[in-house]
């Protein structure tokens, strides 16, 4: 995607997002977007473009640090409940309760029993959210192994990006296959009818950002919606189905 094309499309989509937020505020809607994905897949940048021109009073990003001792001893979902949207709010989770299905499982930060319990409970948890009136969308940003390696190396070399390089990131390539297996099991067991996973192929950051925004807005209802800007590329973002693997949309 050329820079000018990207800038032009981004501008129009951000106008649509402002229209949508005005509708959310007026109607007291509760909107929750979950962003998961490989390390360096582009979650930060995608959320940043969503947020850029939204009112910060009614749109917030939640990116939690490791749990406190008190949180470890509490019901797993409890630390996330306090950040769920109230009427008129849009909340972006930059990683979410699905940490347990990915990072925690692969890195051994939870027990097998805790993981199994999470997988049994998460469907009921999300059903409660949706039946309470929360609009919930779950996005997984997926990249190839080579692209991740290049981005992580860039972070190591760039002094302005080194804050993005966490101890967990250091193991992303080493445990590539383990993360793939955890991701695939998460998709198969937690892509629910009411709350499916949408997978975005993110080797090209700009193309991924644009298509995630288009996809999200295409699913929302709001006044003066301009459909001509919302035709997303189905080869870039798709609802999770087993066929996504055979079509090569998900990195192995």
Computed from CA positions of residues 7, 205, 241, 108, in that sequence, does the dihedral angle turn out positive or negative? negative
Residue 91 has what pLDDT? 98
Residue 252 lies in a domain: no
Residue 82 lies in a domain: yes
Q: Which two tokens stand for residue 28?
A: 């007291």
**Which CATH number belongs to the domain containing residue 100 in this structure?**
3.40.50.300
Residue 163 has what pLDDT? 76
Residue 171 has what pLDDT? 82
The model's pTM is 0.95
Residue 101 has what pLDDT? 98
Q: What is the mean pLDDT of each run of 10 residues along the chain (252 residues)?
A: 93 98 98 96 97 98 96 97 98 98 96 98 98 98 96 88 77 94 97 98 96 98 98 94 83 88
Residue 252 has what pLDDT? 87
Residue 249 has what pLDDT? 77
Radius of gyration (Cα) for the chain, nearest Å?
Answer: 18
Q: Which residues contact 170 (CB under 8 A, 6 or more apart)?
A: none
Q: Which residue has the tokens 């309470």?
A: 132
Residue 92 has what pLDDT? 98
3-class DSSP assignment, residue 120: helix
Range of the domain at 109: 3-246
Q: Which two tokens stand for residue 34?
A: 């979950």
Residue 146 has what pLDDT? 96
Residue 37 lies in a domain: yes
Burial class (CB in 10 A: 0-12, 13-18, 19+), 66: exposed
Beta bridge partners of 93: 34, 62
Q: Which residues contact 102 (CB under 8 A, 6 or more apart)?
A: 36, 179, 182, 183, 186
Domain count, the chain: 1
Residue 214 has what pLDDT? 98
Residue 251 lies in a domain: no
């Amino acid at each position: 995607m050329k820079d000018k094309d990207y800038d032009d499309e981004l501008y129009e989509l951000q106008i649509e997002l402002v229209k949508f937020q005005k509708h959310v505020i007026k109607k007291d809607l509760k909107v929750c977007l979950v962003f998961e994905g490989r390390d360096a897949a582009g979650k930060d940048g995608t959320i940043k473009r969503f947020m850029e021109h939204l009112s910060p009073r009614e749109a917030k990003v939640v990116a939690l640090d490791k749990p406190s001792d008190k949180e470890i001893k509490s019901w797993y979902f409890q630390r996330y409940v306090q950040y769920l949207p109230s009427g008129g709010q849009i909340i972006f989770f930059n990683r979410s309760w699905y940490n347990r299905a990915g990072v925690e499982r692969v890195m051994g930060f939870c027990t097998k029993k805790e993981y199994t319990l999470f997988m049994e409970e998460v469907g009921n948890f999300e059903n409660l959210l949706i039946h309470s009136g929360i609009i919930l969308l779950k996005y997984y940003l997926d990249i190839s192994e080579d692209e991740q390696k290049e981005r992580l190396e860039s972070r190591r070399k760039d002094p302005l990006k080194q804050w993005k390089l966490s101890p967990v990131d250091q193991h992303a390539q080493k445990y590539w296959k383990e993360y793939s297996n955890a991701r695939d099991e998460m998709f198969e067991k937690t892509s629910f009818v009411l709350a499916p996973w949408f997978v975005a192929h993110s080797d090209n950051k700009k193309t991924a950002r644009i298509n995630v925004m288009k996809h999200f807005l295409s699913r929302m209802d709001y006044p003066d919606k301009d459909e001509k800007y919302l035709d997303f590329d189905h080869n870039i973002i798709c609802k999770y189905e087993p066929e996504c693997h055979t079509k090569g949309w998900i990195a192995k």
